[in-house]
Amino acid sequence: MKKIGDGAEAIIYKKNNTVVKDRVKKSYRLKQIDTKLRKYRTRREAKLLEKLSKFNFTPKLIESDDKSMQINMEFIDGPRLRDVINKNNYQELCTEIGKKLAILHNQDIIHGDLTTSNMIYNKKIFFIDFGLSYESSKIEDKAVDLHLLNQALESKHYKIFKKAFKQILDTYKTKVNQSSEILTRFKKVEMRGRNKKK
């Protein structure tokens, strides 16, 4: 196995045409709590990948093992979206992001860390890293997901982020359930975020 990534809670390996996500022990946590938390997060991520497999824009789950705390999934070859999105192609790519985020939210799935670093481009966009994801039907959680995506765009793509995020929202609101409620709450979340910065 070849190590290809290091996350906050897992090490990522490539094994042939698969990816192995290994949730490592955290020595700063009590052993019993650490085991319980890693097991829960492994099961939850595997469950979400399985649920999303029919939409074909996330890695396909191959197997998961909550004893070894590992998830084995399809390897998607291609660059991170952060490295290929630019002022000439952002409109088409952001339209696709808007559609796919609406699908997630219509399934009551909150990604929790949706950045262009957690998207891979290979003829289309794949969303990856569902380690912080969870199920929720709450308007607030969907609005916060949007807010975090907007912040990520501003941080990584400050030259195009306003136009890029507008393109995402314009598509998202035509596809997502309860769009007016989510966008109204999103504006409130944005205001809270701006007030914190002051």
What share of the chain has pLDDT > 90, as a percent?
86
**Nearest partner of 117 among 81, 75, 153, judged by Cα:** 81
What are 29-79's pLDDT values in tens digits? Answer: 898 999 999 999 999 999 999 999 999 999 999 999 988 999 999 999 999
| CA gap 121, 43 in Å, rounded | 27
Return the biggest CA–CA distance within the chain.
51
Q: Where are the domains of the chain?
A: 2-74, 81-197
**Nearest partner of 133 among 24, 185, 58, judged by Cα:** 58
CA count, 13 A, side-chain hemisphere, 158 = 1
Q: Return the pLDDT at 8.
A: 73
How many other CB atoms sit within 10 Å of the CB of residue 124? 12
pTM across the whole model: 0.93
What are 107-143's pLDDT values in tens digits? Answer: 999 999 999 999 999 999 999 999 999 999 999 999 9
Query: What's the length of the chain?
Result: 198
Q: Could you please state the CATH topology (level 3) that the domain comprising 81-197 is classified under.
A: Transferase(Phosphotransferase); domain 1 (1.10.510)
Confidence of residue 104 (pLDDT cuts 50, 70, 90): very high
If you average pLDDT over residues 12-29, what whole number do you get? 91
At the second CATH level, the architecture of 2-74 is 2-Layer Sandwich (3.30)
**Nearest partner of 13 among 54, 68, 56, judged by Cα:** 68
Alpha helices (runs of H) in 53-138, residue ranges in sequence order: 90-106
Question: Residue 18 pairs with which residues in a beta bridge?
Answer: 15, 74
Q: Return the pLDDT at 195.
A: 63
Residue 197 has pLDDT above 80, yes or no: no
Q: Which of the following is catalytic: 113, 129, 141, 145?
A: 113
**Quick check: is 141 catalytic?**
no
> What is the rounded average pLDDT for all residues in the chain?
94
Q: Return the pLDDT at 198.
A: 53
Confidence of residue 157 (pLDDT cuts 50, 70, 90): very high
How far CA 154 is from CA of 24, 41, 173, in Å, comes to 31, 29, 20
Helix (H) or strand (E) holding 163: helix 161-175
